[in-house]
Copies of this chain bind each other. A is one copy, B any other.
Amino acid sequence: MDSKEKRRGILERLNAGEVVVGDGGYVMQLERRGYVKAGHWTPEAAVEHPEAVRQLHREFLRAGANVIQTFTFYCSEDKLEISGNVTNITGAQINEAACDLAREVANEGDALVAGCVSKTPCYVKSHSETEVKAIFKKQMDDFLKKDIDFFIVEFVDHVEEAVWAVEVLKTSGKPVGATLCISPHGDMHGVPPGQCAVRLVKAGADIVGVNCHLDPLTCVQTVKLMKAGLEKAGLKAHLMIQPLGFHTPERNIGGYTSLPEYPFALETRAITRWDIHKYAREAYNAGIRYIGGCCGFEPYHIRAIAEEVAAERGFLPPASEKHGLWGAALEMHTKPWVRARARREYWENLLPASGRPKCPSMATPADDYEKQLETKIQM
């Protein structure tokens, strides 16, 4: 049996009104597991340590993910070269190995494989459409040698670059999703979310949304603005969201990379599985049907999405066999006060203590975005 023929494509699923659960974040989680170098954030582990990448793919699949993204973040030739982290492995090797790993694990379940491209250093440096498109083309060609189902453009903070990527990837004939890492205040050139969405859809994107940089509820707000923009323009597209798995109440334009805790002290800000339930419901209510996560989303966060939308999907993910819904399995605990936590109200209403009485609760972003923001509000 050819798994490919059997698979229902991403658009078939979304067009049918299904909820598609995305996977979580790779680079940050693999950094913690010892396979990715922070600062570089390149995915050479796909070649060097395939067992580690495979296992993380598997955990996301088991948690309920319908899509396995290729572990190809920052895997454009220009980025790899600048980074200098990988000297004996080519981008093509990584891209191809990553496709194979994603495919192998996706086939262990009912998942699709998305070939992923992200922003290129070339864009900011050269601002040349030709050069940037050539880079995306090269990466696409690597993917097309392998068996992938659709493309995702992600972690791009200038809509113009994302538009270029979409234009390239659409030449493949495969569906394309595009997510910007922007705040409700718009992209790095100040283009508001609604307008960004319009430009992406006009460029051919089938699915649009945001990923990374800001916390789940902020990202839902941004996607809502995108949706409103599309409606105003009389356009239609599927919506997707893969937010940051850390609380960013500062809601600054640059997001978590501007916060003092980035990237090695973000533990404090990590979202809980209960935060995820709220997020998944908000996203669903906003009409978003492709719901996943980015940096900070571990397997149990993806499982929490799948559990929140279990009624809509009609099933629980495999990993829920090791998870009592809303803490139900705590009924087995030896301490009576822990047993008393085996219920939804407890976890929904808990305000978790930071455990750090000498630390603040919000930070000053290390850039001048706050001032920029104030200026915008004053206008």
Is A32 part of the binding interface, using a Cβ–Cβ cutoff of 8 Å?
A: yes
Residue interface mask A342-376, B partner, CB < 8 A = 1? 10000100111111111111111011000000100
The winner among A225, A323, A357 for most chain B CB atoms within 10 A is: A357
Q: Are A300 and B337 in contact (CB under 8 A)?
A: no
Q: Which residues of B contact A35 (CB under 8 A)?
A: 319, 322
The winner among A260, A266, A330, A362 for most chain B CB atoms within 10 A is: A362
- Total contacting residues, chain A, CB less than 8 A: 95
B-binding residues in A (CB < 8 A): 31-40, 51-52, 55, 58-59, 62-63, 82-85, 121, 124, 184, 215, 221, 224-225, 228, 246-249, 254, 257-274, 298-300, 303, 318-319, 321-324, 327, 329-335, 337-338, 341-342, 347, 350-364, 366-367, 374, 377-378
Q: Are A322 and B367 in contact (CB under 8 A)?
A: no
Contact partner, A265, options B264, B272, B342, Cβ 8 Å: B272
* Cα separation A298 to B30 with both chains bound (whole Å): 11
* Cα separation A254 to B333 with both chains bound (whole Å): 14
* Cα separation A188 to B231 with both chains bound (whole Å): 30
- Each complex incorporates copies of this chain amounting to 4
Q: Are A338 and B262 in contact (CB under 8 A)?
A: yes
Q: Are B353 and A362 in contact (CB under 8 A)?
A: yes
Q: Which residues of B contact A215 (CB under 8 A)?
A: 355
24 contacts between A and B (CB under 8 A): A32-B300, A33-B300, A34-B62, A34-B63, A34-B318, A38-B329, A39-B332, A40-B332, A51-B55, A83-B332, A184-B377, A249-B356, A258-B335, A261-B350, A262-B338, A268-B268, A268-B354, A269-B356, A351-B358, A354-B359, A355-B362, A358-B364, A359-B361, A361-B362
Q: Which residues of B contact A273 (CB under 8 A)?
A: 264
9 A-B pairs with least C-beta separation? A247-B355, A34-B319, A269-B355, A39-B329, A354-B354, A357-B362, A267-B270, A353-B363, A337-B366
Q: Which residues of B contact A52 (CB under 8 A)?
A: 55, 58-59
Nearest Cβ on chain B to A136's Cβ, whole angstroms: 19
Contact partner, A355, options B39, B322, B355, B361, Cβ 8 Å: B361
Nearest Cβ on chain B to A184's Cβ, whole angstroms: 7
Q: Which residues of B contact A34 (CB under 8 A)?
A: 59, 62-63, 299-300, 303, 318-319, 322-323
Q: Are A267 and B261 in contact (CB under 8 A)?
A: no
Q: Are A37 and B322 in contact (CB under 8 A)?
A: yes
Q: Which residues of B contact A36 (CB under 8 A)?
A: 322
Q: Are B355 and A38 in contact (CB under 8 A)?
A: no
Q: Which residues of B contact A32 (CB under 8 A)?
A: 298-300
Q: Are A356 and B366 in contact (CB under 8 A)?
A: no
Nearest Cβ on chain B to A120's Cβ, whole angstroms: 11
Q: Which residue of B lies closest to A225 (CB)?
A: B378
Q: Which residues of B contact A59 (CB under 8 A)?
A: 33-34, 52
Contact partner, A356, options B33, B324, B361, B377, Cβ 8 Å: B361
* Cα separation A225 to B377 with both chains bound (whole Å): 10
* Cα separation A85 to B121 with both chains bound (whole Å): 51
